[in-house]
């Protein structure tokens, strides 16, 4: 089946640093979604991308839909302690979502 490869698997950064993570697929997706899971909670949608090349921001978060439609990037600027969590990329496959394995983000203050 379709698989999304996320990297890095985990990051441990200093508060204030910028963060970049990405997601690649062997297949084309027409939509890319980025979710964040806080400890003890379910995934929450951060950003949705619908068009190749699209760049969308949500506060300190910026995500891009790759021009090949096989990848997407998420950047977090000036990280803060509450950015801690697991970030998942996802793409729709008919009625369901296909997820990556997640990037664990830890922030050192």
Partner 1 sequence: EAGVTQFPSHSVIEKGQTVTLRCDPISGHDNLYWYRRVMGKEIKFLLHFVKESKQDESGMPNNRFLAERTGGTYSTLKVQPAELEDSGVYFCASSPRGQTYNEQFFGPGTRLTVL
Q: Does residue 102 bind partner 1 (CB under 8 A)?
A: yes
Q: Does residue 100 bind partner 1 (CB under 8 A)?
A: yes
Q: Are residues 101 and 21 in contact, defined by beta-carbon separation less than 8 angstroms?
A: no
3-state helix, strand, coil in the chain (%, to 5): 5, 60, 40
Q: Does residue 95 bind partner 1 (CB under 8 A)?
A: yes
Q: Does residue 99 bind partner 1 (CB under 8 A)?
A: yes
Q: How many CB atoms lie within 10 A of CB 71?
A: 18
Phi, psi angle pair for 88, to nearest 5°? -120, 140
Among 21, 46, 98, 105, binds partner 1 (CB under 8 A): 98
Q: Does residue 97 bind partner 1 (CB under 8 A)?
A: yes
The interface with partner 1 within residues 25-84 (CB under 8 A) comprises: 31, 33, 35, 40-45, 48
Strand partners, 92: 97
Q: Does residue 94 bind partner 1 (CB under 8 A)?
A: yes
* Torsion (CA) 77, 62, 29, 12 in degrees, nearest 10: 10
Name the residues that contact partner 1, by CB under 8 A.
3-4, 31, 33, 35, 40-45, 48, 88, 90, 92, 94-102
């Amino acid at each position: 089946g379709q698989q999304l490869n996320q990297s890095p698997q985990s990051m441990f950064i200093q508060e204030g640093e910028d963060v970049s993570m990405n997601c690649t697929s062997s297949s084309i997706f027409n939509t890319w979604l980025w979710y964040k899971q806080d400890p003890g909670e379910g995934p929450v949608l951060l950003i949705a991308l619908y068009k190749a090349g699209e760049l969308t921001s949500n506060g300190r978060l910026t995500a891009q839909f790759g021009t090949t439609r096989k990848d997407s990037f998420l950047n977090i600027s000036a990280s803060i302690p509450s950015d801690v969590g697991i970030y998942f990329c996802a793409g729709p496959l008919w009625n369901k979502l296909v997820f990556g394995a997640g990037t664990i983000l830890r922030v050192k203050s």
